[in-house]
Amino acid sequence: MLQDAQAYQAQVEEAADYIRRRLQAAGETAPRLGLVLGSGLGGLAGELEGGLRLRYAELPHFPSSTVAGHAGELALGRLNATPVAAMLGRVHSYEGYALERVVFPARVLARLGVRTLVLTNAAGGMRAEWGQGRLVLLRDHINLIGNPLAGPNLNGWGERFPDMSRIYDRELRQRAQAAAARLGLALEEGVYIAVSGPSYETPAEIAAFRRWGADLVGMSTAPEAIAARHMGVRVLAISVVTNLAAGVSAAPIEHAEVLATGRRVEAQLGRLLKELAPVLAQD
Ligand code: HPA
What is the CB-side half-sphere exposure of residue 34 using CA atoms within 13 A? 25
Cα(29) to centroid of ligand 1, in Å? 36
User: At the topology level of CATH, where does 5-280 sit?
Assistant: Rossmann fold (3.40.50)
Radius of gyration of the chain (CA): 18
**Nearest-5° angle of CA 264, CA 249, CA 257?**
30
* Helices 222-230 and 104-112: angle between axes, nearest 10 degrees: 40
- Beta carbons within 8 Å of 216's beta carbon, 6+ residues apart: 123, 124, 125, 126, 136, 138, 190, 191, 192, 193, 239, 241
CA of 161 to the centre of ligand 1 (A): 29
Does the C-beta of 217 come closer than 6 Å to ligand 1? yes
Q: What residues are paired with 124 via a beta bridge?
A: 217, 243
Q: Encode 47-56: b = buried (16+ Cβ within 10 Å), e = exposed.
A: bbeebeebeb
Q: Which residues contact 265 (CB under 8 A, 6 or more apart)?
A: 133, 135, 240
Domain chopping of the chain, boundaries: 5-280
Cα separations in angstroms, 45 against 22, 61, 85:
18, 23, 10
State the sign of the Cα–Cα–Cα–Cα dihedral 183, 185, 186, 189: negative
| Distinct helix (H) and strand (E) counts, the chain | 7, 9
Site to probe by mutation for ligand 1, drawn from 258, 259, 261, 264 as the one with most ligand atoms within 8 Å of Cβ, is 258
Q: Tens place of pLDDT for every residue, the chain, 283 residues? A: 888 999 999 999 999 999 999 999 999 999 999 999 986 777 787 888 888 999 999 999 999 866 655 578 999 999 999 999 999 989 999 999 999 999 999 999 999 999 999 999 999 999 999 989 999 999 999 999 999 999 999 989 999 999 999 999 999 999 999 999 999 999 999 999 999 999 999 999 999 999 999 999 999 999 999 999 999 999 999 999 999 999 998 888 888 888 888 888 888 999 999 999 999 987 7
**Rounded to whole angstroms, how far apart are CA atoms 246 and 5?**
39
- φ and ψ at 125, to 5 degrees? -90, 135
- CB of 209 closer than 6 A to ligand 1? no
Ligand 1 center–CA 253 separation, angstroms: 8
Global pTM reads 0.95
Catalytic residue list: 39, 70, 92, 94-95, 122, 219-220, 243, 255
Ligand 1 atom at minimal distance to the Cα of residue 243: 8
Å from CA of 173 to ligand 1 middle: 23
Would the CB of 243 count as within 6 Å of ligand 1? Answer: yes
Give the closest residue to 283 by CA, choosing from 100, 115, 51, 170: 115
